[in-house]
Amino acid sequence: MNKKILLFAAVAVVGAGAAGIAATMDKEPDNPFLQDYTTVYEIPPFDQIKTEHYLPALKAGIAKQEDEILKICDNTETPTFDNTVVAFENAAETLNKVVLVFAALEESNSSPEMVAVAEEFYPLYSESQDAIMMNDKLFERFKYLYDHRNDMGMAPDQIRAVETYYKNFVRAGALLDEAQKQELKNFNTDLTNLYLQFNKNLLNATNAFSIVIENPERLSGLPANTVAVAAEEAQKRGLGEGKWVFTLHAPSRLPVLQYANDRDLREQMYKGYTTQASSGEYNNLPVINKILQTRAKKAALLGFDCYGSYMTDNVMAKTVANAENLLMQIWTPAVAKVKEEVKEMQALADREGAGITIQPWDYYYYAEKVRADKYNMDENELRAYFAVDSVRNGIFNMAGRLYGVKFTEMPDAPKYFDEVTVYDVTDAKTNEHIAVFMTDYFTRPSKRQGAWMSEFKGSWTNPDGTSSRPVIFNVGNFTPPTADMPSLLSIDEVETMFHEFGHGLHGMLSRARLKSQAGTNVDRDFVELPSQIHEHWAFQPELLRTYAHHYKTGETIPEELIEKIQASSKHNSGFRTAELVGAALLDLQYGKLNPTGDVDVMAFEDSVRNAIGMPAELTYRYRSPYFKHIFGSDGYASGYYTYLWAEVLDTDGFELFEEKGIFDTETAASFKKNILEAGGSEDPMALYVRFRGHQPSVDALLRNRGLAE
């Protein structure tokens, strides 16, 4: 998942002007955000950054933006692209520095002190964005450029930037009267605070739940590394020897659901996960209701019939109906596949004399048993070949062969946590510096769940023609290594690592000229194309043989196991597709609501389940109280469908690689130029068609997931 915050338009008019900036900087002479970074490649100097630096730097950044925006607004010259758009994009240097670092660390290495700062930090930041996007004088300059965009000699990427900015201003309330603008500001502030509360509740609820095992017989079936980590967790909690602690974090939760022979343990874990943050001290249900009501008011104020219409208006889908149409083309064959899978699992359980009817907490477990029975494949055996370091070698090898880049570790580079690894990314032929890439792969209590990519510094072209090169990072939540065993990944986790690295490549290889179009600054339903297409290389035999080595013996993965991976690649595709599509459909139904009072969230979930005919043996990939994508921010609200929208593109696109050769240099060069380097500089479908030669259809996705008839 791409988590980058878009900051190129984040400017404000609420500071104290130049005098205020000078005073702030005088009081904070040691604040690293208020100085030029002197570190290698301008990596943030994490060892110098303290919690007390964030708010003063934010306020100084806001004040500096005020002065820069005033200069733009007071410019008596006719608006031009340079004196308006370029000046606007270059007006947020200090603000970008502090917000990018704070947003990254608040999610990946948080603390009670960081959480307290966040409660003041994000509302201030939100207010600063509102103020500038509702600045009438600034909007008039952008409107002039918009009205004259076709007769000012602008390049295509400049015209697109002007059109995008104009629409963003309108969507942010530029056409509202003063009373309406204030109302919109209040809505945005309320939403910012609600997102903070949702995320705080979710992190606390996740960390509050645990299962303590004292009987070793209950560990039957679990992988050795999972048991070892659970024992270490018990030790950390002071529980002593002979106890094991399992948590809701994915490296602990998923092996229990997939391998634990103890059905009660599986049920306990499943219910703990699917009811988290839905009651008690960390209940997110009231927060969700406030979010839904505030979003509906905001959409109505801006002239939209619902929040879903507002969120889909400026992306490839254009309407909620178009997104639903795509999802239903996938949903129907996925449900049919689920019924086949459940039938196979029930038959196996019956043969074993289990005396059960398959329930949701049995799905992972019996799906794994069916895989072992059908393909003679044990994923525990496979894990031994997928140590984190080996898989990292694989993604670097893939990038080198496709795009001619190499990764060299920088052991002395600044890092925000000891487990982070930093790389210098260079052109393999010329040694030209391209980017900095950081990896942070292991779960810890200070890190929220999931996996994502973001940046500490973006990419753009300076007015003098020189380029700023990016600092990109990937975050994961894989099982940490133990004293005698490295972190070993499941098949899904290997795909996740390739996925987030694909986002990383999008950021690292960007050559778009403008900050607002560089890297992952693309339409929300296009941003997952680079991440998802790179998943296809993860288990290609040609690449597997180069990186999948046994962590003990160094043996290359046997051909027999490669064949089993290929044969079972579409196993459980019904479940994997239906839980994802179900969540995306639930998200869209939330977007269509216009509630004036509280909604019974769990009853609403059930009504959507019934309406779409969700099989009883599964649930949504994310239930509402922990659906961070759509309630932890507005980033994927009415947009969770984008993973599948982009999969239509990535599966169709990868078929060209299969046709030409998965490391065909011409095809790779075209993908690099038209997708990775171009960013948001052109219409995404035009870029895709230039690469692929035609528009995609859903057929390739259905073929890839084994859902085609």
630: CB partners within 8 A, 6+ apart: 587, 590, 636, 637, 638, 639, 640
321: its two tokens: 């109906």
Q: What is the distance between the alpha carbons of residues 69 and 71, in angstroms, rounded to a whole number?
A: 5
Cβ pair 246, 256 in contact under 8 A: yes
In 3D space, the residue among 271, 277, 246, 275 whose CA is nearest the CA of residue 259 turns out to be: 246
Cβ pair 391, 476 in contact under 8 A: no
Q: What is the distance between the alpha carbons of residues 109 and 97, in angstroms, rounded to a whole number?
A: 17
Cβ pair 556, 545 in contact under 8 A: yes
The total number of residues shown for the chain amounts to: 709
Instruction: Kindly state the helix (H) or strand (E) to which residue 360 belongs, with its residue range.
Output: helix 360-375
In 3D space, the residue among 485, 309, 303, 487 whose CA is nearest the CA of residue 386 turns out to be: 487
In 3D space, the residue among 16, 14, 20, 17 whose CA is nearest the CA of residue 132 turns out to be: 14
DSSP string for 125-141? HHHHHHHHHT-HHHHHH
409 C-beta neighbours (distance < 10 Å), count:
10
Instruction: Kindly state the helix (H) or strand (E) to which residue 590 belongs, with its residue range.
Output: helix 573-592
Helix, strand, coil percentages for the chain (3-state, nearest 5): 60, 10, 35
Give 266: exposed, middle or buried? Use CB within 10 Å, 0-12, 13-18, 19+: buried
User: How many helices, marked H, and strands, marked E, lie in the chain?
Assistant: 28, 9
DSSP string for 85-125? IIHHHTS-HHHHHHHHHHHHHHHHS--HHHHHHHHHHHHHH
Strand ordering across the sheet containing 405-409: 405-409, 421-427, 433-442, 471-478, 452-457
Residue 358, CA distances (Å) to 219, 583, 680 in order:
21, 21, 46
SS (H, E, C) 476-529: EEECCCECCECCECCHHHHHHHHHHHHHHHHHHCCCCCCHHHCCCCCCCCCCHH
Q: Give catalytic status of residue 93 as yes or no.
A: no
Residue 476, CA distances (Å) to 438, 442, 511 in order:
11, 6, 26
592: CB partners within 8 A, 6+ apart: 306, 308, 320
181: CB partners within 8 A, 6+ apart: 134, 173
Give 616: exposed, middle or buried? Use CB within 10 Å, 0-12, 13-18, 19+: exposed
User: Residue 461: helix, strand or coil by DSSP?
Assistant: strand
248 C-beta neighbours (distance < 10 Å), count:
19
Cβ pair 309, 519 in contact under 8 A: no
DSSP string for 663-693? T-HHHHHHHIIIIITTTTSS-HHHHHHHHHS
Q: Which of 28, 324, 500, 579 is catalytic?
A: 500
Phi, psi (rounded to 5 degrees) for 132 = -75, -40
Cβ pair 486, 478 in contact under 8 A: no
Cα within 13 Å of Cα(197), Cβ side: 17
Give 36: exposed, middle or buried? Use CB within 10 Å, 0-12, 13-18, 19+: exposed
- The β-bridge partners of 422 are 438
Cβ pair 67, 20 in contact under 8 A: no
Q: Which residues form the catalytic set?
A: 500
